[in-house]
Amino acid sequence: THAPVVDVLKGKYAVGEQVTVKGWVRTRRDSKAGLSFVALHDGSCFDPVQVIALNSLSNYQDIQRLTAGCAISVVGSVKESKGQGQALEIEAESVEVVGWVENPDTYPMAAKRHSIEFLREYAHLRPRTNVIGAVTRVRNCLSQAIHRFFHERGYYWISTPILTASDTEGAGEMFRVSTLDMMNIPRTDKGEVDYSKDFFGKETYLTVSGQLNVETYCNAMSKVYTFGPTFRAENSNTSRHLAEFWMIEPEVAFADLSDVAQLAEDMLKYVCKAVLDERADDMAFFAQRINKDVIDRLEKLIHSDFVRMDYTDAIEILKASGKQFEFPVDWGVDLSSEHERYLAEEHVGAPIIMQNYPKDIKAFYMRLNDDGKTVAAMDILAPGIGEIIGGSQREERLDVFDERLEAMGLDKEDYNWYRDLRRYGTVPHSGFGLGFERLVAYVTGMQNVRDVIPFPRTPGNASF
Ligand code: 4AD
Ligand code: MG
């Protein structure tokens, strides 16, 4: 078997030892002295390995035709590198061209700097670039660290359904799933679409959140979480919204809002530390090329306590800021991203746990506070991106819950299974949802969530 480039560069093989490496050419440079330097990458680490090919190789003419993107297999021996950069390189004994680039002039990922917008048009080739390779490794590191964090704390990972009849967030931003024949839609006597004739016998959607389902498992298994794809038909063309994104949703029994606020803080610290420990190579690149503060800000996040702030106090701070916001601030309004960013970036300069929002701007399931006006909700706002986490204590009192449903014009019958949890051994419980792409964007400093998910889905774009 062949060696990953990372093993060669980290010195797993002795100088002089024979290794085989396989991957794609990033650059080739020929020296007048009759040899070529080929930078080969295989995704296993940030740096490519330098392969030295001497003109004594039988297919040296082929090597001189190598261009960015060609796939090669190299057998050679490990050498100490005389050049700057890497300590180790490979002197080739043979180079096999596995796949040519058929016309180098048409290869979109040629080794030069491309704009991030240009790369988006090549979602199938962009993982070959430095930047998307680094994002991909950090994203993987974060997912593994999240699972490890919850596993170490005794949480069970629950798979919640993607097809559902419930609108968890009640925001009406769902993608409908139907097998009805669009040319011949069945209608009721009133002329409405007759979903009883549809596959599931009722209107069905892609889930916006696994929360309601995971709450049922929480009320039996105590500590649980979901980690899966969620879908929102929000028509927002912003740098922080996707129509398909991944969400991590822990749910904890016998826990109140401050317990899960602490859980969120611990989790963010744990996973950010994992990235600094495990992906130093990629983080150095992000600090150099994307955002110079990106490492400092993670260090700071790991070593300081998050600031906790009440919504009501935040409104006062925003009013006193003297800033002209596009959306005016007053008690009762939802915070927009400019407000969130002002608070996190300019006022505090670190992540904020914002708590106790007005009930009218939050979902039906959040627990009513004693003031009767606010709910036990929390959002975590991070500098550079705004809201990365939204969570709450859930309303566990059936009578209060029913009143809320009624006030919001929601049908009790639709929530009977959820109401059962409040009837049979109800307990205080709380949870939150972390938007995974927003976390990856925050950690890497990437400006747009479209560049931290392999195949972004946004309004008007579901190619690839
Ligand atoms: O605040 P949200 O809507 O909360 C929920 O869905 C709750 N059910 C979570 C829970 O308590 N279990 O979404 C949670 C997070 C947001 O803070 C944000 O980071 C992310 O999901 N998010 C999005 N990320 C990318 N694109 C979108 N369109 C997003 N909408 C929400
Ligand atoms: Mg939210």
Q: Which residues contact 242 (CB under 8 A, 6 or more apart)?
A: 232, 437, 449, 450, 453, 456, 457, 458
Residues lining ligand 1, Cβ inside 6 A: 168-169, 209, 211, 232, 234, 241-242, 245, 247, 249, 387-392, 431-433, 435, 437-438, 449
- Residue closest via CA to ligand 1's atom 5 equals 433
**Euclidean distance between CA atoms 464 and 458, whole angstroms:** 12
With contact defined as beta carbons under 8 Å apart, do 11 and 49 qualify? no
Q: Which numbered ligand comes closest to the C-alpha of 386?
A: 1
322 Cα to the center of ligand 1, angstroms: 30
Which of 378, 357, 385 has its CA nearest to residue 433? 378
* Residue 364 neighbours by CB distance under 10 Å: 18
Number of the ligand 1 atom closest to the C-alpha atom of 242: 26
Structure tokens at 324: 């002209």
pLDDT of residue 86: 82
Cβ–Cβ contacts within 10 Å for residue 104, how many?
Answer: 14
Instruction: Tell which atom from ligand 1 comes closest to the C-alpha of 391.
Output: 11
CB 239 within 8 A of CB 448: yes
Q: Which numbered atom of ligand 1 lies nearest the CA of 439?
A: 19
- Please report the pLDDT score of residue 169 as a whole number: 83
> 3-class SS at 451?
helix
CB neighbourhood size of 187 (10 A): 10
Q: Which atom of ligand 1 is nearest to the CA of 208?
A: 6
* Buried-state track 189-220, b at ≥16 Cβ within 10 A, e below 16: eeeeeebeebeeeeebbbbbbbbbbbbbbbbe
Encoded amino acid at 160, one letter: T
Instruction: Using a CB cutoff of 5 Å, list residues around ligand 2, an ion.
Output: 390
Pocket test residue of 139, 247, 257 for ligand 1, highest count of atoms within 8 A of CB: 247
**pLDDT tens per residue, range 327-362:** 989 999 999 989 999 999 999 988 999 999 999 999
Which residue ranges of the chain lie beneath pLDDT 70? none
Q: What is the pLDDT of residue 463?
A: 84
Cβ neighbours of 76 (radius 10 Å): 21
pLDDT in tens, 230-250: 999 988 889 999 999 999 999
**Residue in the structure block whose two tokens are 């040519």:** 100
Q: Model pTM?
A: 0.96
